Amino acid sequence: MSVILGTGEHRYRVIESWAKLPDGWEFMDCAAVGVDSKDQVYVFNRGEHPMIVFDREGNFLRSWGEGVFKRAHGLHIDKDDILYCTDDGDHSVRKCTPDGKVLMTIGVPGRPAPFMSNEPFHRCTHTALSPKGEIYVSDGYGNSCVHKFTPDGKLIQTWGHTGTGPGEFNLVHNIVTDDDGWVYVADRENHRVQVFDGNGRYETEWKNLHRPSALFCACGKGTTKPTFFVGELGPGMPVNLKYRNLGPRLSVVDHEGKLISRLGGTEGPGMEVGRFMSPHGLAIDSRGDIYVGEVAYTNWPTSFPGQTMPRPLRSLQKLERVQ
């Protein structure tokens, strides 16, 4: 019997063992997922083959990025099927073709900016594009800011610093934009998503989220407002490890941050069908199916302290929308 998650219009069937990897291959942590205009699914992961591409049925198509990426973290695919790959291990963003040709690199690979200097980059995490093609980069683990670049990679501005107030960040982990140019930032350890205009002016924030890590904007058409999907991590400390209703989970919210539906997360992390370990990257295809990348290997010691880690861990899931 299949497992169904969610409620109302947002109900999804968990598809087990969706991705068909070549023999002997392993994802390790799936940090980010993207879907192009052909519904090809790009899995940016921390195994030996950093970018693995599948069709929507899960058949292996190709891989690339071997010897290029140090530690996969973020992935954005634009309307022309150009990929923006954020590597927090070598502090850079690479703009690539669908077959892996590097068109542009922002940042100096292997040379981090000084810690908390607000200079790009120190363990940058994700990218998003404005309607004009300007590039936003969330930065990240060693900075507390967002950078805005021209389409050809020239720095325009930087905003944010460490704190808990409006426009301040405590681990800026993910970033998306909508068709109107609003910028949405997953301020993970402040348990919120902050909303800015295209020039970094604080507008509002969404709460009722627990360690938001992944973001995806399902942009509306015409007068329809966008819907957002948020991947939330579970407890990160031993003292609250067994608390319920804190995730890991997926939440669906409207354009004002109002909760529409939640998928999973009531019983804490787990490898059982219908549960999550650590939703870190999200993408949705043309049919509304969700692809969830998880950093399961990284989170196992925190989620199950002292327990032997099984191999392989599941770090990618497909949730098929129930029509």
Pairing mode, if any, of strands 212-218 and 51-54?
A: unpaired
Cα–Cα distance measured from residue 270 to residue 276, given in angstroms and rounded to the nearest whole number:
6
Q: What is the pLDDT of residue 221?
A: 65
Q: What is the pLDDT of residue 80?
A: 97
Contact 319, 15 (CB under 8 A): yes
Contact 185, 197 (CB under 8 A): no
Coil, strand, or helix at residue 301?
Answer: helix
Phi and psi, residue 188, nearest 5°: -60, -55
Cα–Cα distance measured from residue 226 to residue 200, given in angstroms and rounded to the nearest whole number:
20
What is the DSSP code (8-state) at residue 96? Answer: E
Contact 20, 59 (CB under 8 A): yes
Q: How does 151-168 read in b/e, with b if 16+ C-beta sit within 10 Å?
A: eeeeeeebbbeeeeeebb
Contact 236, 302 (CB under 8 A): yes
Contact 34, 28 (CB under 8 A): no
Contact 169, 183 (CB under 8 A): no
Q: What is the pLDDT of residue 2?
A: 87
Minimal CA–CA distance to 145: which of 172, 174, 176?
Answer: 172
Cα-trace Rg, the chain = 18
Q: What is the pLDDT of residue 240?
A: 92
Q: What is the pLDDT of residue 260?
A: 96
Nearest 10 degrees: Cα torsion 5, 9, 13, 15: -110
Structure pTM? 0.97
What are the pLDDT tens digits along the chain (323 aa)? Answer: 689 999 999 999 999 999 999 999 999 999 999 999 999 999 999 999 999 999 999 999 999 999 999 999 999 999 999 999 999 999 999 999 999 999 999 999 999 999 999 999 999 999 999 999 999 999 999 999 999 999 999 999 999 999 999 999 999 999 999 999 999 999 999 999 999 999 999 999 999 999 999 999 998 666 689 999 999 999 989 999 999 999 999 999 999 999 999 999 999 999 999 999 999 999 999 999 999 999 999 999 999 999 999 999 999 999 999 98
Q: What is the pLDDT of residue 323?
A: 83
Which residues, in sequence order, are CB contacts of 145 under 8 Å at separation 6+? 118, 139, 158, 159, 160, 161, 169, 172
CA dihedral sign of residues 312, 316, 322, 323 = negative
Looking at domain 4-321, its CATH class is: mainly beta
Instruction: List the structure tokens of 149.
Output: 């670049």
